[in-house]
Amino acid sequence: MCQVLVAANDDLVQQIAWAGHASENRRMAEDYTRVIRERSLVVDMETYIEPSSERSTTHVHNTDRLLVIESGEMDFWHSYGEPLHFTPGDMIFVPKYRLHGSVVTTRQCVYHQPIVDGELRESFSHLRPMR
């Protein structure tokens, strides 16, 4: 029982830390995107085309991902606090197992979720110290 409590507390701390560093996670997404483009990496990616008022209930993924808005707008939220308003070109890094959700705020929103795998993470690790 104690191990479960410790794991739950650790997860809560990580959730709050991620939610509290939106600007850093946006910069990280920009860096990852730059690596993908500059090195012409082929990355697994999910693409969504969602209509007005589409809601994504709070959930997690079992992979690190980027969220990249192509067109339209959405409100995106983490585990607490006010939502972030995303417009075309906005992006954020979403680590695996981090609570998040969204709602489309325009007629339609097209967005991509490139998956951050080992190859991309390795390419990124060479770039990161430059920042």
Give me the residue label for tokens 């794991």.
Answer: 7
Q: What are 51-63's pLDDT values in tens digits?
A: 997 888 889 999 9
CATH of the domain at 45: 2.60.120.10
Which of 99, 98, 91, 97 has the alpha carbon at shortest distance from 74?
91
* Total Cβ atoms within 10 A of residue 58: 12
**34 pLDDT above the threshold of 70:** yes
**129 pLDDT above the threshold of 50:** no
Q: Is 120 left (phi over 0), alpha (psi -120 to 50) or beta?
A: alpha
Q: What's the total number of domains in the chain? A: 1
Q: What are 76-113's pLDDT values in tens digits?
A: 988 777 899 999 999 999 999 999 999 999 999 999 99
Distance CA 63, CA 19 (A): 17
How distant, in Å, are the alpha carbons of 5, 36, 110 from that of 80? 21, 30, 24
Q: Report residue 118 as tokens.
A: 């080992």
Domain that holds residue 106: 2-130
Q: Report residue 54 as tokens.
A: 């589409």
